[in-house]
Amino acid sequence: MRREDFHYDLPPELVAQRPADARDGSRLLRVHPEGPPTIGPFAGILDAFRGGEVLVVNDTRVVPARVRGHKESGGAVEVFIVEPLPEGRVLALVRGKRLRGGAALTLPGGARAVLVERRADGTVELALEGVDALWPWLDAVGEVPLPPYIERAPEASDRGRYQTVFARAPGAVAAPTAGLHFTPVLLDALRARGVDVHTVTLHVGLGTFLPVRADDLDTHVMHSERFSVPPATRAALESGRPVVAVGTTVVRALESHARDPAADRTALFIRPGFDFRVIDGLITNFHLPESTLLMLVSALGGHDRVMGAYRAAVSARLRFFSYGDAMLLRREGARWT
């Protein structure tokens, strides 16, 4: 398939600029094996579970990764920290006039960064000085990294709402947005129904969001992202029960783990024709046209069915992307019925 096979027309006013008033106050589009999709409140997701399923969420924690600083010459720069590296270095994107190797940046909180290496993918390696611990420093000086289609500055409320209630391990530069709809009350209701809730950690990075520029999907190269699957989740996966992923990041982590249990990074590119070994169902938000995320959802739910569901979502004026509404679908031939 080609990139254009995943295009759809989206009116710009359907891109959610703020979250729903309540976490579980969004809407849910359910894609059925037969017949048209149906739309209801997200809290109605309880009706999709009979008990005995394994629900897997991503417990990564979004860090305020955007930091504003200055070059030694005084010019403004924006540093977007992607992930930590050994020896006090970080992988980052820098917005501003092109920097040369050895260039120094003045950053908030008395910190300083020196450009060590520029990589072919557009990222740079920076050596941080005056930063004892990366995550506390970012918490103190950084901004919430809202995606560019949210056309406003971050607000104080985004610190909480652009974070899942089960966020634990810092390291993501974007939220695993399907998890944003869940509340402790809803999770407890699922457990009371007999659903086992387990976690993985996948630190969302560039690999999830970089656009597909090649028309031929075979030539697209994903960036790798860090992940881990704890022993309790591994045991649950081996139980033979249906596995429902909350978000595309969980799908990539579990399917990567199934192929290499020792792996701690994934560059898996899931698109139609993919052989799923773990996932039976998926709860996910609506994704950008021609994105790798939409390709993953189409692989699981079937290209024609998923693209039809997207057209139905547009027609029903659902809200799209990170702060938008959600959809629920089953893999064809899944254990989950």
Q: What is the pLDDT of residue 213?
A: 84
Q: What is the pLDDT of residue 101?
A: 77
Helices (H), ranges, 113-183: 134-141, 158-161
Q: pTM value?
A: 0.95
Two tokens, residue 251: 């799908």
Helix, strand, coil in percent for the chain, rounding step 5: 30, 30, 45
Break the chain into its structural domains and give their ranges. 3-62+157-330, 66-141
The secondary element (H helix, E strand) that includes residue 245 is: strand 243-246
Q: What is the pLDDT of residue 75?
A: 87
3-62+157-330, superfamily in CATH?
QueA-like (3.40.1780.10)
Q: CA 135 to CA 324: how far, in whole Å?
A: 28
Q: What is the pLDDT of residue 34?
A: 87
321 vs 10, 31, 176, 177, CA distance in Å?
11, 18, 11, 8
Q: What is the pLDDT of residue 50?
A: 95
CATH 2.40.10.240 for the 66-141 domain, yes or no: yes
Q: What is the pLDDT of residue 208?
A: 65
Radius of gyration of the chain (CA): 20
Tens of pLDDT along the chain (337 residues) come to: 899 999 999 999 999 999 999 999 999 999 998 899 999 999 999 999 999 999 999 999 999 999 999 998 888 999 999 999 999 999 999 987 677 778 899 999 999 999 999 888 788 999 999 999 999 999 999 999 999 999 999 999 999 999 999 999 999 999 999 999 999 999 999 999 999 999 999 999 876 667 888 888 888 888 899 999 999 999 999 999 999 999 999 999 999 999 999 999 999 999 999 999 999 999 999 999 999 999 999 999 999 999 999 999 999 999 999 999 999 999 988 999 8
CB of 262 closer than 8 Å to CB of 183: no
Q: CA 54 to CA 24: how far, in whole Å?
A: 20
